[in-house]
Each structure stands twice: as structure tokens, then as C-alpha cells.
Amino acid sequence: MGSIDYAVIAAYFVLVMGLGFWYQKRAARDLDAYFLGGRSMHWLTLAMSGSVSNFDITGTMWIVSMLYLMGMRSMWIHWMWGWMMGAFFLAYMGKWVRRSRVMTGAEWMMTRFGTGPGGIAARMAAALMAVVTMAGMIGYAFQGIGKFAHVYFPQFTPQALALFIISATTLYVLLGGLYSVVVTDVIQTAIVTLASIIIAAVAYANLDPEAISRALPADWASLAPKWRLAEFAGTEHAAYELFGALVIVWVAKGLLLNLGGPGGMYEFQRFLAARNPRDAAKIGAAWAVFMIVRWALCMGVTLLGLVTLAHIADSEQVMPTVLREYLPVGLRGFVVAGLLAAFMSTFSSTVNSGASYLVRDFYQPYLRPNASERHLVRASYVATVLVVIAGIAIGFRATSIAQIWEWLMTALGAGVIIPNVLRWYWWRMNGWGYAAGTVVGMLLALVPLFLSK
């Protein structure tokens, strides 16, 4: 990294910090402004925000590592978080959520199950699940951003770098609420899109079909799933050996996830922040469109790594190593800033949404029901810090990106998916049933996490 690269990255941090201070007064008006932007933001900005929040640096590193290991077959893994979700958001989910006029996904449970004891139990279970999920997401982000930044700042440990970047991001989220999150996300969408196009162009310029065909395994480009990947037997990737069985699980989970609607994280928040139900449907339509450029970046990085840097032992280091080796000074700083933007977008959305559950669903109704809006906004500052601390603790305990991601998507996601689907469609499902299914699924998912060495 040259001095120009560092200057570009520093300028980006100054910009996003400035936006946090700029929107502080507007966000501090009341809880509705702090967590939903006063329901006044344009649907396109909310769609950009939701989309770039899915374009996180840790997930991108993981996608690249899976492509690097098993080729195009790894695309089957992505079924597990519901590739068709945008269609469901557009068709009816987005409108259903916005019509409730609540503030969080947990509060929506009382729209579905009523204000009695069953509805309250469902609300508490949903809020608890959301906070646990978001703490896990922050831990996952902590792992990825530390590994990524360490390649460019080797004089610092990955943990120290992750703490610095997370602290800086937390500051602008804490001050500006959803206003600063969405405005910075729009800027980050532009930066990430340009960075992805640059990487794709670099790969196109440096590779030729002959070199690619020589470097890639014979069936690397095949999408056809195999029942068994024998090359993974006895390795650290042995969990993927019975690949065919996993494909069945991923597809089934993805379809159920589509039917279950927005998750307990920032997805619900984006639809609730829309001006009206029609705008909420538009958010669902545009959300997936802005994700397209991610795949250009992932494939460009993967092919450069396979063809010219096949010696990389840790597949999670492929992306930062490729960027370091192939991008010139100045351009490297811009692309790294773009990927930091992707991280900060996901992290900021997760933190702001997580704090909303703590304040709106726990603190306000049961501890300070008569608190002023000013007091609740100050409580939101504290909740933001608490969510971040919990996530960092998980990040220190984990050993890899894949460990946290697989727990979130497989153990925790599978544990709560059935009650999340039934809440929308089965009229006999009541609040107590939802609460019991969610809490039991969550507890069972936590067991392997805390028993792992």
C-alpha cells in the first residue's frame, strides 16, 4: 500500500464520520427518526441500503473461498438464504410488513398474534432471536474485516484492526441513526459498484482462455452437484464431503426462508421505513438488482487467484491477496475503500437494527414505558454499544469466517425457520406456539456454538 492508497482510505473514513455528525440532530428527534428515518426516505435509497448491506466484505471473502475450493458447484450453497426472496418481497411481503406501522419485526408479532400474553411472548421470543442473530453477525464481521485489513496493515494484529474499524463505524451509526446508515449506504453502493467493475476489468485484462483452462480442474465450471466430494475427505473441509445431501438441505431451507419473509434483522427495518406500502414493494423489486455487481467481483478475484496465485493455502485469504498483487497504487486504495464500505454498510445496518430491538421491545415497554423520546434516543446510544460488545465477544471466540457463517445460516437459521414460516400462513399458529418453537430452536442452535473448542 502506498501513501496515496492510505490517503484515499483516510478520506473515506472522514466522509462517513462527518455524515454521522451531520445527521445527529435530525436523528435525535425521536425513536421513529432514529430507527426508521421518520418514514420519509425514498424507496430507491432504502433498496440501495438493504442491498449493499448484503454485500459485506466477510461474505464476499467467504464466497470467493468457496468458489476457490469447489468451483461453480459452490453456487448451490447460496440457496440456503433464499435467492428468490426479492420476488416474495415484491409480491406481498413488503406491503404486509409496511401496513403494520410498527417499528421492529418483534413488535410486528403483536399485529399477528394480538396484544395478549401470547402476543407478548411471541414478541419477546422474536426480539431475543433478533439480538442473538445480530450479535452473531457482528462476530462474523469482526472475523472477516480483521483478516482482510491485516493483509494491508501487517504491522497490526487482525483483532486490533477489527476493533478500530468497528469502533469508527459504531460512532457514525450511534450518532446519525438510520439517516446516516442509509445516506452512507447510497455512497457506498456507488463505490462498491465501481470497485467491482474495476476488479472484473483487471481479471479480463490479465487472463486468457488458455491460461484459465490449464489452471482450472476439469469440472470446475460444472454446476451439476455431486453426491460426494471425495477430495474433501479427511480435510478441514470434510463437512462438505456429502455434498449431494447438503444441496437438498440448502434448497429446502432456502424455499422455507422465502416463505418466511423478512428476517429479524435489517430487512424488516427497511420495509417499515418506507413511505407507504407501494414503496415497500418497490424496495423488494430493486433490492436484488443492486446485488448483481457482486458476482463480477467474486468471479474476477477467484479466477485471478486460481490461475496465478494457486499457492495460497488459506482460501479466506484469496481476495485480499489478489487485490494486493494486481491493483496499482491509488486504484488499490479506492477498491479497498470500496470493500471497507461494503463491510461498514452491513455492520451499520446490523447494529442500528439490533439496538432498535433492545430499546423498542425490551427497554421501553417493560422498564421505562413513560420515558420521553429524548431519553429513549439516549438509551439507543447505550443499546448500540451493548450490541457491538456482544458481537465482538463472539468474534474473539470464533476461529474462522466459515465457523460463524455456517452456525448462523445452518444451526440458528434452521432452528427457527419453521415458526417463522407458520406465522404467516397457518391460522391455528398462536403466539405461545411461535414463542416456544423459536426459543427451543434458538437454544438448540446455541449448544454447538458454546461447546466448540
In a domain, 68, yes or no: yes
Which H helix or E strand runs over 415? helix 413-425
Q: pLDDT per residue over 41-69, tens digit each?
A: 899 999 998 888 777 777 777 788 888 88
Q: pLDDT per residue over 212-221, tens digit each?
A: 788 777 788 8
The reported pLDDT for the residue numbered 120 is: 95
In a domain, 238, yes or no: yes
Task: Identify which has the larger pLDDT, 189 or 406.
Answer: 189
Which CATH number characterizes residue 367's domain? 1.20.1730.10
Cα distance between residue 8 and residue 168, in whole Å: 16
Of 96, 183, 136, 78, the residue nearest 412 (C-alpha): 136
Number of compact structural domains in the chain: 1
Radius of gyration (C-alpha) of the chain in whole angstroms = 21
The reported pLDDT for the residue numbered 141 is: 80
In a domain, 38, yes or no: yes
Task: Give the pTM.
Answer: 0.83
In a domain, 120, yes or no: yes
Mean pLDDT for the stretch of residues 4-21: 81
In a domain, 427, yes or no: no
Q: Give yes or no for a contact between 286 and 299, defined as CB atoms under 8 angstroms apart.
A: no
Indicate the pLDDT class of residue 110, thresholds 50, 70 and 90.
very high
In a domain, 188, yes or no: yes
The reported pLDDT for the residue numbered 6 is: 81
User: Which residue segment(s) compose the domain that 11 sits in?
Assistant: 3-393
The reported pLDDT for the residue numbered 395 is: 79
In a domain, 416, yes or no: no
User: Kindly report the CA angle at 130 between 343 and 171, in degrees rounded to 5?
Assistant: 40
Q: pLDDT per residue over 236-262, tens digit each?
A: 777 788 888 989 988 888 888 888 877
In a domain, 337, yes or no: yes
* Percentage of the chain modeled with pLDDT above 70: 93
